[in-house]
A and B are shown apart, each in its own frame.
Chain A
Amino acid sequence: MNFRILGAILKKDVLSLYPLVLLTTLLFAGDVIVIRLELLPLWESFRMPVLLLAGATLILTLVQLDSRVSLVDDWLCRPVPCKELLTAKLALLFAVIYLSRVFATLIADLILRHSLAESLLDAVLLQDRLLLLVLPLLLLTAVVTHTLVQGFGVLMAVFLCVFMIPTPIVQAPDPLHPAIGHELSGVGMDWLGTTPAKVVAILLVVLGLWLVYWRRAVLQARLVLALTVLMTLFFVLLPMWLLPWPTVFSLQTRLASAVASLDTHGIYLRNTRVCFPATQLGNLATDAAFTAARQLNGLQPWTDEDLRDSGPESIAFLTSIEPRGLPLDWRVKLNYVQADYYAGGPTPLYSLRPATYNTDTAGGGSLAHAWVLPARSVQALKDKGAAALQLRYSLTLLEPHQFSLPVDGKRHELPGHGYCSAILNRTLDVECFGGSHEPAQISVELNGIPASRVFGILDLAPAWVQWPYGKHVQLEINSPGLAQHETITVTSWEVAAYLNKSLNAPGILGADPRTCPLPTADGARFQKSRWRDSAPHETNSISVEEGVRLEVLDFGGSRSPNSLPLLLLPGLGATAHSYDELAPLLAKKHRVVAMTRRGTGDSSKPDFGFDTPRLAQDVLQVMDVMGFERVVLVGHSIAGEELTWLGGHHPERFGGLVYLDAAYDRSADPADPAAIRLREIARLLPPEPPIPPEALANYDAMTKTLLERGHVRLPEGELIEFLRVNSPFLAGIPSIDGRTQQAISAAIQKPDYAAVKIPALAIYAFADPNAPLSPWFDPSDKALMANLAERARISDTMRRESIELFRRNVEQEQVLEMQNATHYIIQSNQNEVLEAIERFAGELGP
């Protein structure tokens, strides 16, 4: 390499083009600074065409300065070696397009006070994924044309080619054809669409350069340009035709290394309901229940395109599946799903695609889809007789690594996973930069509230594809008020394995046709609800804060001068109706009021205020509105938090506290091995089967079912709320809002019993050691039995420790251990509890 000549060519090029070089350098470098420092929000919308235009002009002008295509160029008869010429051109382009951005990025990052290590990494790595595809094409176009106009003409032609031609080729999907195209990016397979194209483009461009400069074969080089465009198009469109999807993912599995030794046999899929909600397409607009079910699962409605060929007799149905047997805290992400209908043969008669891909539900982990079975297929299946549905899922198993990130606006390094910073504005904004090692996905959430989790984009590209790029992720947590936010949890998800799992269901809708028949012409599938809350209470709605109203049930009762009113607080996820049976009994001798805390039941569900002090304040507020100077506070389960807090901070308002299996230290460190073990065991236990529809017909049917399953009987009012019995498709599914319940749990502090100076009665429920096993547990399953025994042991230990804590710290403590009881002690030991409360309240006096 003759550096003298190289230098001479570079100098000549710069002298000839310095205005253009300067302008382009400023544009490329300035772009970085404007974007990073957020100087000009408008720039985002037109930066791409501007940069593209500037870059194309520079490349064309620079290369055509010494064009091989022209017949009159000065250099053609001068001793300018091709190697030095190309190197000089590429070096100048490298400096303007890449180096300028490296320096600009370094400066911008240092201004933003990122660490030097992060700034260097960010500066050196490429940000733009399409750069390596566009640059080679521009270079080759510049080399085979000899004026600027000609060059832009060719680029226009290429542009039209790329955007006009694919449109008629890509087929629009319909219910019977498996999905194509746009789902590619939702499953992180973008790379399959661009990487082969990039590789091909670079190779062909190198060929083209050789042809023009060394062989002086310009015509052939022009053919190579056309070929490059076509091949690029082909490789970008190819994945859309790689059907069925199994081919794509077996390719992916081979190309991207996954943990081969992971045993994934224990993972299986489960239907979260007994039936699939269904309706006929003709009734879609009017079937409110179906719409509610669809909305509950977050499914988009069908577009006209999807319903093109299906008649009004077509069946629309929803499936909701959950994976089980996953390692603790791991999750699966959907790659693709297919619904195959078999009618007695080995090959499916019909393969359906879902209406839209709902490939991620924040924190939920359930896989819900909407399908349409066209009318003629329905008829064909009915004629054939025994139809069976198989739902086939291809899933990516992701393993989490969690980090704690302080919300102080400063940059922190997450060892092995990049750099992040978080700051609280109206939303909680998190910005992460992944350098050479990038996880497949990043998520952020409020501590202890997995329901608040927000995910970044999934990228399944293997490491060798990702290494030149740096990835920036920006995530926003809405409703940051749900929890304390000095720190948040950042999780990086790595691919552990690719799974293919399926779920079989007999019948046309994937359930026993006797219980879930096809919808009939008159549409009514369920009996109209025969549920009624007949407990004697007056329902009030009391405002405790701006925009927050709480449901308060007034059970009346005499205002005896010898006893204080009783204020009843329910457990986590339960409403005031859980006292519907106990309260009237108490009301014989006392004034009784029960309230539902915020975020539950009929009370408001705001985005804030779930910390114990605020919940306690809600209680005081209700007391003030109801006109109670002092009460005896009775709380079940998690209400123990409010009780302890109020007892410690406002002893003047409370005569005494009654903890109904509520006086526990729930603030255990999540890293506590006992807590982790409990979660693991919970995961391993066989799940309870879904509630069959006939159980929802009326209260008696439901109670019978609950008792058969070993549950305690619940008051009708509570069940109406809890199980949404009035909605045929939602009935049987608990109405708990994960977000608010998690927010409440996450805010719990260690109970300060020492501050409680007023009398406190703590009732503890000890399980009957001889209670029958849940009917879905198999007594011959040794592992299961061992797990249950261990669970009982751990719970017992924790209970003993809590009792000890209570005893030691509460000044005027009384502890009552109830045997053969369950946690829902209000119902399981109703009379004993009644007696205990009466006695305690009586001792307290006015």
Chain B
Amino acid sequence: MIIATHHVAKRFGRFEAIEDLSLSVPEGSVFALIGPNGTGKTTTIRMLMNILRPDRGDITVLGTPSHRLTSKDFERIGYVSESQTPPEGLTLAQYFDYLRKLYPRWDRGLEQELCEQFELPPARKIKHLSHGMRLKSLLIGALAFRPKLLVLDEPLSGLDTLVRDEVVNGLLQQAADTTILISSHELSEIESFTTHVAFMQNGRLLLQESIESLQSRFRDVSVTLSAVKELPQPLPEGWLLPAVAGHRLRFINSNHESDGQLHQQLTRHFGAVKVECEPMPLRAIANALMQQRKRNLKR
């Protein structure tokens, strides 16, 4: 694991920001950290980067405990955050010049390539860049030294579609050798290239899983019943958000193994049925999980 956290907790005053977080980011993955605003994603990332210290639990990054990360470790870690403040008074050229001296593995060629690709004006001061340009330059600042681990905190928020695509393309080019951890509240932006996903809500981890495995086990099920039936009690494991309306039963199956197996299970419970079973997009899975959690909490 490139990143591993065990039962990490953090509070600010009386507010429990993070509770019992155990994250594992496999090497080589593109790991998405998803959750609504205010759910603790940025706090988690800051703890990974040793900007904050957890109150409980431990964090290991690149094999080192996070509180022992030295400047040598940061030569292999790239970090981009939308709230990051680079030196405002420098021009881009001066900024990259400064960064170049900090990283022994800085690739000048790559830097220039990306600059051209992103169409960034080297002579303009950072404080005069637009939000999109600023983010692009921060990205170059995190990519040009070919880091082993790239951590991105909401890099795509506030960007228009064109720029977003540029950034994503830029990222994709690097995906091969780098582990990427990217956080976002908008799943659709990133699902096209992520391999793993973790959902957070109210400071807790709902689940973390590879996309493949998720998509294989979630199905949106719509059942036409022969007669009005009741929901089976107890509810079979893995059925989420069941709803009966007349002759229709709709639910989300999170333990899907095969269509045949599902059909069998339904027939057992309801007799003759007509089943429609659809794979779900990631967003729908996320929404379903969150709604289910809300329901659980209400009970």
Contacts of B88 in A (CB 8 A): 16
Within the complex, the shortest CB–CB distance from A748 to chain B, in Å, comes to 74
Of the listed stretches A67-75, A666-674, A738-746, name the one at the interface; the rest are far from the partner chain. Answer: A67-75
Q: Please name the residue on chain A nearest to B100 by beta carbon.
A: A8
Report yes or no: B85 in contact with A12, Cβ–Cβ below 8 A. no
Of the listed stretches A77-85, A104-112, A386-394, A587-595, name the one at the interface; the rest are far from the partner chain. Answer: A77-85
> Given A4-B101, A76-B51, is A15 in contact with B90 using a C-beta cutoff of 8 Å?
yes
B15-55 to A contact mask, C-beta < 8 Å, 1/0:
00000000000000000000000000000001001111100
Report yes or no: A5 in contact with B86, Cβ–Cβ below 8 A. no
Q: Please name the residue on chain B nearest to A85 by beta carbon.
A: B71
Report yes or no: B84 in contact with A74, Cβ–Cβ below 8 A. yes
Within the complex, the shortest CB–CB distance from B207 to chain A, in Å, comes to 28
Alpha-carbon separation in the docked complex, A80 to B98 (Å): 11
Report yes or no: B98 in contact with A12, Cβ–Cβ below 8 A. yes
Report yes or no: A81 in contact with B94, Cβ–Cβ below 8 A. no
Report yes or no: B87 in contact with A8, Cβ–Cβ below 8 A. no
Report yes or no: B86 in contact with A12, Cβ–Cβ below 8 A. no
Instruction: Tell me the A314-328 residues at the B interface (CB within 8 Å).
Output: none
Instruction: Tell me the A1-23 residues at the B interface (CB within 8 Å).
Output: 4-5, 7-9, 11-12, 15-17
Question: CB within 8 A of A78: which of B67, B97, B102?
Answer: B102
Report yes or no: A5 in contact with B101, Cβ–Cβ below 8 A. yes
B213 within 8 A of A: no
Alpha-carbon separation in the docked complex, A76 to B86 (Å): 11
Contacts of A5 in B (CB 8 A): 101-102
B103 within 8 A of A: yes
Alpha-carbon separation in the docked complex, A73 to B138 (Å): 12
A65 within 8 A of B: yes
Report yes or no: B89 in contact with A77, Cβ–Cβ below 8 A. no
Within the complex, the shortest CB–CB distance from A57 to chain B, in Å, comes to 15
Alpha-carbon separation in the docked complex, A4 to B103 (Å): 11
B83 within 8 A of A: yes
Report yes or no: B83 in contact with A77, Cβ–Cβ below 8 A. no
Report yes or no: B85 in contact with A73, Cβ–Cβ below 8 A. yes
Report yes or no: A70 in contact with B85, Cβ–Cβ below 8 A. yes
Alpha-carbon separation in the docked complex, A7 to B67 (Å): 27
A649 within 8 A of B: no
Alpha-carbon separation in the docked complex, A81 to B74 (Å): 10
Contacts of B79 in A (CB 8 A): 77
Question: CB within 8 A of B71: which of A65, A81, A216?
Answer: A81
> Given A7-B101, A16-B88, A16-B89, is A76 in contact with B75 using a C-beta cutoff of 8 Å?
no
Contacts of A11 in B (CB 8 A): 98
Contacts of A70 in B (CB 8 A): 85
Report yes or no: B85 in contact with A74, Cβ–Cβ below 8 A. yes
Contacts of A72 in B (CB 8 A): 81, 83-85
> Given A4-B101, A80-B71, is A12 in contact with B87 using a C-beta cutoff of 8 Å?
yes
Report yes or no: A71 in contact with B102, Cβ–Cβ below 8 A. no
Contacts of B101 in A (CB 8 A): 4-5, 7-8
Contacts of B94 in A (CB 8 A): 12, 15
* Residue in A16, A79, A80, A82 whose Cβ sees the most chain B Cβ within 10 Å: A79
Contacts of B87 in A (CB 8 A): 12, 15-16, 65, 74
B72 within 8 A of A: yes
> Given A76-B51, A77-B49, A77-B51, is A8 in contact with B102 using a C-beta cutoff of 8 Å?
yes
B214 within 8 A of A: no
Report yes or no: B50 in contact with A79, Cβ–Cβ below 8 A. no
Q: Please name the residue on chain B nearest to A65 by beta carbon.
A: B87
Question: CB within 8 A of A79: which of B51, B72, B85?
Answer: B72
Alpha-carbon separation in the docked complex, A229 to B85 (Å): 32
* Residue in B49, B102, B103 whose Cβ sees the most chain A Cβ within 10 Å: B102
Contacts of B89 in A (CB 8 A): 15-17
Q: How many residues of A contact B (CB 8 A)?
A: 24
Report yes or no: A77 in contact with B98, Cβ–Cβ below 8 A. no
Alpha-carbon separation in the docked complex, A320 to B97 (Å): 76
Q: Please name the residue on chain A nearest to B74 by beta carbon.
A: A79
B59 within 8 A of A: no
Q: Please name the residue on chain B nearest to A8 by beta carbon.
A: B101
Instruction: Tell me the B49-83 residues at the A interface (CB within 8 Å).
Output: 49-53, 67, 70-75, 77, 79, 81, 83
B277 within 8 A of A: no
Instruction: Tell me the A50-101 residues at the B interface (CB within 8 Å).
Output: 65, 70-74, 76-82
* Residue in A15, A76, A77, A82 whose Cβ sees the most chain B Cβ within 10 Å: A77
- B contact residues, range: 20 to 34
Report yes or no: A71 in contact with B52, Cβ–Cβ below 8 A. yes
B221 within 8 A of A: no
Alpha-carbon separation in the docked complex, A65 to B46 (Å): 19
Q: Please name the residue on chain B nearest to A67 by beta carbon.
A: B85
Contacts of B51 in A (CB 8 A): 71, 76-77
Alpha-carbon separation in the docked complex, A216 to B54 (Å): 13
B129 within 8 A of A: no
Alpha-carbon separation in the docked complex, A12 to B73 (Å): 22
Contacts of A65 in B (CB 8 A): 87
* Residue in B71, B81, B90 whose Cβ sees the most chain A Cβ within 10 Å: B71
Within the complex, the shortest CB–CB distance from B227 to chain A, in Å, comes to 60
Q: Please name the residue on chain A nearest to B151 by beta carbon.
A: A77
Contacts of A17 in B (CB 8 A): 89
* Residue in B52, B83, B87, B151 whose Cβ sees the most chain A Cβ within 10 Å: B87
Alpha-carbon separation in the docked complex, A15 to B73 (Å): 27
B206 within 8 A of A: no
Report yes or no: B74 in contact with A78, Cβ–Cβ below 8 A. yes
B81-119 to A contact mask, C-beta < 8 Å, 1/0:
101111111100010011101110000000000000000
Alpha-carbon separation in the docked complex, A8 to B52 (Å): 26
Question: CB within 8 A of A77: which of B52, B67, B74, B97?
Answer: B74
A209-235 to B contact mask, C-beta < 8 Å, 1/0:
000000010000000000000000000
Contacts of A74 in B (CB 8 A): 84-87
Within the complex, the shortest CB–CB distance from B242 to chain A, in Å, comes to 43
* Residue in B67, B74, B98 whose Cβ sees the most chain A Cβ within 10 Å: B98
> Given A8-B101, A15-B90, is A216 in contact with B50 using a C-beta cutoff of 8 Å?
yes
> Given A72-B83, A77-B74, is A12 in contact with B49 using a C-beta cutoff of 8 Å?
no
Q: Please name the residue on chain A nearest to B88 by beta carbon.
A: A16
* Residue in B67, B97, B101 whose Cβ sees the most chain A Cβ within 10 Å: B101
Alpha-carbon separation in the docked complex, A195 to B75 (Å): 44
Within the complex, the shortest CB–CB distance from B261 to chain A, in Å, comes to 47
Alpha-carbon separation in the docked complex, A12 to B94 (Å): 8
Alpha-carbon separation in the docked complex, A71 to B153 (Å): 13
Alpha-carbon separation in the docked complex, A806 to B97 (Å): 93
Alpha-carbon separation in the docked complex, A7 to B97 (Å): 12
Alpha-carbon separation in the docked complex, A81 to B99 (Å): 13
Contacts of B86 in A (CB 8 A): 74
Contacts of A8 in B (CB 8 A): 97-98, 101-102
Contacts of B102 in A (CB 8 A): 5, 8, 78-80
Contacts of A7 in B (CB 8 A): 101
Q: Please name the residue on chain B nearest to A9 by beta carbon.
A: B98
A9-52 to B contact mask, C-beta < 8 Å, 1/0:
10110011100000000000000000000000000000000000
Contacts of B75 in A (CB 8 A): 79
Contacts of A78 in B (CB 8 A): 71, 74, 99, 102
Alpha-carbon separation in the docked complex, A281 to B44 (Å): 78
Question: CB within 8 A of A12: which of B70, B81, B90?
Answer: B90
Q: List 25 A-B contacts (CB under 8 A).
A: A5-B101, A5-B102, A7-B101, A8-B102, A9-B98, A12-B90, A12-B94, A16-B87, A16-B88, A16-B90, A70-B85, A71-B52, A73-B84, A73-B85, A74-B86, A76-B51, A77-B151, A79-B71, A79-B73, A79-B102, A79-B103, A81-B70, A216-B50, A216-B53, A216-B67
The 3 A-B residue pairs with the shortest CB-CB distance, nearest first, are: A8-B101, A77-B79, A16-B89
Interface of B with A (CB < 8 Å)? 46, 49-53, 67, 70-75, 77, 79, 81, 83-90, 94, 97-99, 101-103, 151
New contact pairs (15) apart from A4-B101, A74-B84, CB-CB < 8 Å: A8-B101, A12-B90, A12-B94, A15-B89, A15-B90, A16-B87, A71-B46, A71-B51, A72-B81, A72-B83, A77-B151, A78-B99, A79-B72, A81-B70, A82-B71
